[in-house]
Amino acid sequence: MGKTEIYVVGGGSAGMAAAIEAARAGAKVTVIDENERPGGQLFKQIHKFFGSGVHRAGTRGVQIGRALLKEAEEAGVKTRLNTVVYGIYPGKRLGLICEDHTEELASPIIILATGASENALAFTGWTLPGVMGAGATQTLININRVLPGRRALMVGAGNVGLIVTYQLLQAGADVAAIVEGLPYIGGYGVHASKVRRAGVPILTSHTVLRAEGNESVERAVIALMDEKWQPVAGTEEVLEVDTICLAVGLSPLAELAWMAGCRFSYLPALGGWVPVHDENMESSLQGIYVAGDLAGIEEASTAMEEGRLAGLSAAEALGYLSLEVAEARKIEVRERLAALRIGSFGDGRAIAKRELLRARCKK
Amino acid sequence: MRIEDHPILGKTERRKRITLKVDGEAVSAFEGENIAAALIASGRRVFRYTAKRGEPRGVFCALGRCTDCVMIVNGQPNVRTCVTPARNGMVIQTQVGRRGGEDTHDLEME
């Protein structure tokens, strides 16, 4: 096989897509992932994806995950699993923690696709067992096939909150309500309707005041909020729940990009501090690419397209693709990306992404 | 509580049954599933108590990042149970403080 030319850090949607594109072009690619199997969060996405046919709309995330792993294998992508990248050093050197030893290696090109982590929300009692991330809940029910509780409160009516609520119902749990701090529902109407049809109320301008319970969650107290986001006295309501799921956004997992010295921009529409990148997904550092949620919180579909861009660009940089071939392929991908960033949900992200590109151009 | 039958995912595949010893009690699990899943399935929610205030903690991120679910596994403290596969005969203890078991003197609690 020869020596690896591209190390991809993170084997989720973006990382696997990047690896597949680069390997198909002829590059020697290795994906490093801390988990037992690659696929990132795709295997817990049991709902059908949106978009058009080319984005595999109507397909469930778990099926896309299986397809990606198969394509990666066919393309000759190597994987190093159960391996944590703990650091990144000058000269594009990666520090690795493997199961029984540590290791350092140099990589001609690095693609960072480290994903995101869930935001927390601090309220009285939020550390009680039974309060957990909505993504954590999704992992427990759809991957581990265990229910964290019998009756839950969902905090946040974005797509994650809506989808995980529905998946809790599918798994046999009850959801008392969804509370959303904003005066409107952030997620897609189709998800919100589905949850409402199932009898779960969505309470906008509401928040969770506290979690109560002896050793774990036994109740949640919610309340209406005024325009200044202050709870309105007298509107407290006690919900008998044993689980509180937090779906209050994601933040890019950017530690490695910071450590590498990549330049960042603060863009709330993309989840906070995001490494700036150009149209090829190259960061401010030559030979270090970023893709997926690390490069701005979006969706699995956009993450895969960004991964493809990074993979094609990396293969081109190594000389595996001519300028003409690479550019033609990249234009296709960019068109699909643009199509995923339209409408009331995509516009904000599209604008923020353009700001990120502009920030990259400033030296 | 285990989800035996699921409208999308179907029936849970049959896996090898194993037994864990959790705070002295036998807990049934499936070989290779993570420890946290087995404990949640058995109805356990408190995985450890904090060093300073002795507050209970359990699974929070289920991804290996937050370290809220760490326990003592085969004598080793601070093991992230949400990403550690269960093996037959594992001895698991609720962790108190940064390293101690319930009956262990925790140096860092002083």
**In which domain, by residue range, is A103 found?**
6-117+250-361
Query: Is A288 inside any structural domain?
Result: yes
Query: Is A279 inside any structural domain?
Result: yes
Same domain, A162 and A262: no
Q: Is the Cβ of B51 closer than 8 Å to some Cβ of chain A?
A: no
- pLDDT of amino acid A348: 86
Select from B2, B4, B5, B8 the residue whose CB has the most chain A CBs within 10 Å, as the one to mutate to test that interface: B8
Q: Is the Cβ of A35 closer than 8 Å to some Cβ of chain B?
A: yes
CA distance B37 to B40: 5
Q: How far from chain centre, in Å, is Cα A8?
A: 16
Same domain, A108 and A255: yes
- pLDDT of amino acid B49: 96
Residue ending a domain, choose from A246, A272, A299: A246
CA distance B34 to B83: 6
- pLDDT of amino acid A49: 75
Q: DSSP character for A232?
A: P
- pLDDT of amino acid A55: 60
Residue among A36, A136, A145 minimizing CB distance to B59: A136
Q: How far from chain centre, in Å, is Cα A210?
A: 28
Same domain, A199 and A348: no
Q: What is the CATH number of the domain that holds A194?
A: 3.50.50.60
- pLDDT of amino acid A64: 87
Same domain, A230 and A126: yes
Tokens matching residue A41: 């969060």
Q: Contact, A219 vs A238, CB < 8 A?
A: yes
Give the angle subtended at the CA of A194 by the CAs of A193 and A197, to the nearest 5°: 80
Residue (of A69, A102, A68, A65) closest to A83 by Cα position: A102
Same domain, A135 and A242: yes
- C-alpha pair distances (Å), B10 with each of A27, A202, A289, A321: 39, 29, 39, 44
Using a CB-CB distance cutoff of 8 angstroms, which residues of chain B are in contact with residue A65?
none
Query: Is A258 inside any structural domain?
Result: yes
Query: Is A1 inside any structural domain?
Result: no
Backbone angles phi, psi at A8, to 5 degrees: -105, 125
Indicate yes or no: CB of A146 within 8 angstroms of CB of B37. yes
Total of domains in chain A: 2
Domains and CATH numbers, chain B: 14-97 (3.10.20.440)
In the predicted model, residues of chain A with pLDDT beneath 50 are none
* B68-90 mean pLDDT: 96
Same domain, A74 and A140: no
Has residue B109 got a pLDDT over 50?
Answer: no
The pLDDT tens digits of the residues spanning A46-67 come to 887 765 555 666 788 888 888 9
Same domain, A184 and A98: no
- pLDDT of amino acid B98: 84
Same domain, A224 and A287: no
The pLDDT tens digits of the residues spanning B27-77 come to 999 998 999 999 999 999 999 999 999 999 999 999 999 999 999 999 999
pLDDT confidence bin for B10, thresholds 50/70/90? confident
Same domain, A87 and A107: yes
- Residue A47, H or E segment: none
* Percent of chain B surpassing pLDDT 70: 91
Same domain, A66 and A136: no
Residue among B7, B12, B65 minimizing CB distance to A145: B12
Residue ending a domain, choose from A223, A246, A269: A246
Residue ending a domain, choose from A204, A231, A246: A246
Same domain, A234 and A125: yes
Same domain, A225 and A286: no
Query: Is A111 inside any structural domain?
Result: yes
pLDDT confidence bin for B101, thresholds 50/70/90? low
- C-alpha pair distances (Å), A107 with each of A20, A292, A295, B49: 18, 20, 20, 42
